């Protein structure tokens, strides 16, 4: 192998030359596309006009061959760069030659009707104004050729008036020249091949109706060709007007449009039955992927479906044999549904399948949202469990801080009293720590609340906080017969007292009071401080959302309020003004009756 080395200058020169060649090729292709868009249809119709203006001889057949060649270049079904097999080319050429030789004038009439149908489908799918005008001019020329040249040639006894023929022979070249001067914009290949089948079929049927109606009117009425054409045109116009009135009437029955919609919605399967089966499977299956498998199985059971499949980012599924050709693809967000029918799908079937797949996609989206909600609920449960455990551990640490602070403030001669106090408090701390460990081992289990005598709880709390400047007012007077949920009362009291003491560290010389509030509904207490009021924006979110401030009113109160609600109590802000901020824990009104019954039973 011999490699030719080039200098950098030569390489750059070659690159520039290649860029110029590519640009020239692109410019040539652009100019060629623009010229063909401007002159393609006029040449196509001009050759057909010249072929029908004279006698049926070798010259007219040659013009017809040129016309068919131009049609192969203009046709909107296949791209110009598509490869054509030799057998297909021979079959098309043989069919055209046989039709020209054997079909005679009837073939020319039928071919014009086909061209009118193609142009009608092209016009409905074109949005460019100049291109639409260009196509309308071509459609007008074809209609004139069909009605005043091709159809009269079928009637040997009827002729078109000479002035009308003279006007046609002079007018058509003028219209073709105007089409050349219009210079429509060159369409993209995808737009140029766009064809509305429904409008093409309607245009073809309208052209055939005019031809056959004119022939029938001529033979039945015995009138001239021009009079028979007018009769046919007015008859077709009245038929179209009646169809328009029946399609969407202003009152009375629903019209043909609703019947057509019902037919389209029930192609191959009753729509209501399919929706009921789909909803039933959606109720039975909770996982999105399992639901898609069930829905695809329901689609695959339809009589006109060969195979069906689905695909998402998280999985895929398939029912039936493997796809042979390119399947119908319906995409909805991240869901793709593939479907292959036994026979080629008609537009009505495609519309019907699109609606069915959109229903499946909506159910699938609902299943995905349901799964996301379950995951969010699980994460919220984990978060709340961790928050409760953190709250309990914080309260335990606060109790230990209170004990150690009391030990630091005592003198040496009070060591015995301190030891006795620690001996009384350690069993309680041990029980609270054991309960927290049980929650940590089984966070989903709802452990029973430990009930303690009210007086015992009050004395233990007074021992922990009396040395920290908390004033205790009142005390339980019902002895050991009256009990309270110790963990709840410890958690709420320590939270409120800690917040009040933290506020006192910021605002000097404010009183912190713990007041016992007995009532018939059950035990309760209040924590009052003489500091500043809680801001209103914090009050609105105090017990429902985290509302932390510099004074410590935050997630701890939210957790304490949630724990109180679970135990049948209510934590509330009883007073909120400067110098008197009161929080109260008391039984909720709905739990008072059950609590009184339990006390009397004890």
Give backbone dihedrals phi and psi of 116, rounded to 5 degrees, phi first: -60, -40
Sequence-distant contacts of 404-411: CB under 8 A, at least 24 apart: 405/467, 405/468, 406/464, 406/467, 406/468, 409/467
With beta carbons less than 8 A apart as the criterion, state whether 36 and 80 touch.
Answer: no
Strand-pair partners of 305: 341
CA Rg, the chain, in Å? 46
Contacts with 197 (C-beta within 8 Å, 6 or more apart), sequence order: 121, 347
Provide the pLDDT for residue 189: 44
* CATH 1.10.10.10 at 452-602, yes or no: no
User: Closest Cα to residue 76, out of 22, 50, 20, 115?
Assistant: 115
Give backbone dihedrals phi and psi of 184, rounded to 5 degrees, phi first: -70, 155
User: Closest Cα to residue 496, out of 561, 406, 439?
Assistant: 561
Instruction: Give the pLDDT band of residue 385 (cuts 50, 70, 90).
Output: low
| Mean pLDDT within 253-268 | 63
Contacts with 400 (C-beta within 8 Å, 6 or more apart), sequence order: 429
Provide the pLDDT for residue 321: 86
The rounded percent of the chain whose pLDDT value lies above 70 is 70
Write the DSSP assignment of 208-256 as a string of letters: HHHHHHHHHHHHHH---HHHHHHHHHHHHHHHHHHHHHHHS-SSSS--H
| Mean pLDDT within 140-160 | 83
Tokens of 493: 């009291």
Mean per-residue pLDDT of the chain: 75
User: What residue segments make up the domains of the chain, in order of their start?
Assistant: 30-78+86-247, 263-378, 452-602
Degrees (nearest 5) of the Cα angle 287, 293, 294? 85
User: Closest Cα to residue 389, out of 218, 584, 559, 190?
Assistant: 559
d(CA 602, CA 598) in angstroms, rounded, equals: 6
Provide the pLDDT for residue 344: 76
Give, in order, the Cα–Cα distances in Å from 78 to each of 192, 194, 589. Answer: 10, 10, 81
Provide the pLDDT for residue 218: 85
Instruction: Give the pLDDT band of residue 396 (cuts 50, 70, 90).
Output: confident
With beta carbons less than 8 A apart as the criterion, state whether 455 and 476 touch.
Answer: yes
| Mean pLDDT within 175-185 | 77
Provide the pLDDT for residue 596: 39
Q: Which residue has better confidence, 593 or 473?
A: 473
SS3 content of the chain, % helix, strand, coil (to 5): 65, 10, 25
pTM of the model: 0.45
Tens-place pLDDT, residues 24-72: 444 334 434 556 656 778 888 888 888 887 666 777 778 888 888 888 7
């Amino acid at each position: 192998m011999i490699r030719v080395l080039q200098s950098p200058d030569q390489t750059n020169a070659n690159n520039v030359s290649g860029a110029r060649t590519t640009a020239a090729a692109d410019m040539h292709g652009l100019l060629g596309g623009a010229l063909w868009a401007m002159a393609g249809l006029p040449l196509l119709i001009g050759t057909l006009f010249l072929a029908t203006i004279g006698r049926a001889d070798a010259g007219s057949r040659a013009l017809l061959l040129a016309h068919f060649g131009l049609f192969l270049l203009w046709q909107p079904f296949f791209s110009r760069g598509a490869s054509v097999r030799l057998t297909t080319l021979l079959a098309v050429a043989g069919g055209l030659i046989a039709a020209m030789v054997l079909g005679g004038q009837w073939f020319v009439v039928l071919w014009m009707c086909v061209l009118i149908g193609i142009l009608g489908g092209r016009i409905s799918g074109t949005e460019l104004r100049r291109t639409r005008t260009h196509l309308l001019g071509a459609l007008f020329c074809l209609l004139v050729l069909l009605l005043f040249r091709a159809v009269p040639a079928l009637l040997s006894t009827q002729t078109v008036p000479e002035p009308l023929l003279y006007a046609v022979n002079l007018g058509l070249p003028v219209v073709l020249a105007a089409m050349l001067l219009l210079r429509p914009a060159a369409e993209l290949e995808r737009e140029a091949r766009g064809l509305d089948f429904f409008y093409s079929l309607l245009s073809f049927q309208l052209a055939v109706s005019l031809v056959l109606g004119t022939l029938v009117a001529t033979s039945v009425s015995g009138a001239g060709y021009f009079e028979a054409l007018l009769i046919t045109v007015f008859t077709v116009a009245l038929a179209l007007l009646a169809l328009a009135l029946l399609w969407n009437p202003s009152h009375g029955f629903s019209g043909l449009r609703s019947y057509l919609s019902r037919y389209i919605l029930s192609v191959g399967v009753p729509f209501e039955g399919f929706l009921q089966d789909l909803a039933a499977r959606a109720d039975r299956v909770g996982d999105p992927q399992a639901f898609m498998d069930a829905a695809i199985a329901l689609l695959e059971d339809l009589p006109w479906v060969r195979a069906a499949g689905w695909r998402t980012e998280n999985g895929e599924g398939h029912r039936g044999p493997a796809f042979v050709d390119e399947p119908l693809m319906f995409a909805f967000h991240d869901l793709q549904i593939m479907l292959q029918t036994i026979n080629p799908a008609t537009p009505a079937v495609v519309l019907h399948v699109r609606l069915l797949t959109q229903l499946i996609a909506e159910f699938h989206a609902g299943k995905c949202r349901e799964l996301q909600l379950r995951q969010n609920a699980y994460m919220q449960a984990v978060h709340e469990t961790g928050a409760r455990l953190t709250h309990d551990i914080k309260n335990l640490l606060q109790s230990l801080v209170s004990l150690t602070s009391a030990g630091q403030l005592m003198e040496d001669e009070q060591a015995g009293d301190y030891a006795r106090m620690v001996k009384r408090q350690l069993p309680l701390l041990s029980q609270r720590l054991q309960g927290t460990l049980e929650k940590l081992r089984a966070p989903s289990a709802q452990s029973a609340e430990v009930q303690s005598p009210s007086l015992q709880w009050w004395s233990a709390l007074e021992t922990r906080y009396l040395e920290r400047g908390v004033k205790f007012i009142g005390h339980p007077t019902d002895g050991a017969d009256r009990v309270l949920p110790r963990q709840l009362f410890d958690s709420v009291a320590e939270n409120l007292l800690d917040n009040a003491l933290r506020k006192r560290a910021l605002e000097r010389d404010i009183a912190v009071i713990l007041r016992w509030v007995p009532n018939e509904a059950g035990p309760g207490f209040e924590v009052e401080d003489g500091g500043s009021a809680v801001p209103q924006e914090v009050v609105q979110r105090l017990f429902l959302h985290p509302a932390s401030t510099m004074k410590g009113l935050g997630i701890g109160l939210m957790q304490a309020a949630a724990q109180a609600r679970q135990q049948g109590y209510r934590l509330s802000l009883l007073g909120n003004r400067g110098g008197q901020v009161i929080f109260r824990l008391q039984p909720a009104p709905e739990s008072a009756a059950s609590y009184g019954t339990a006390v009397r039973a004890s």
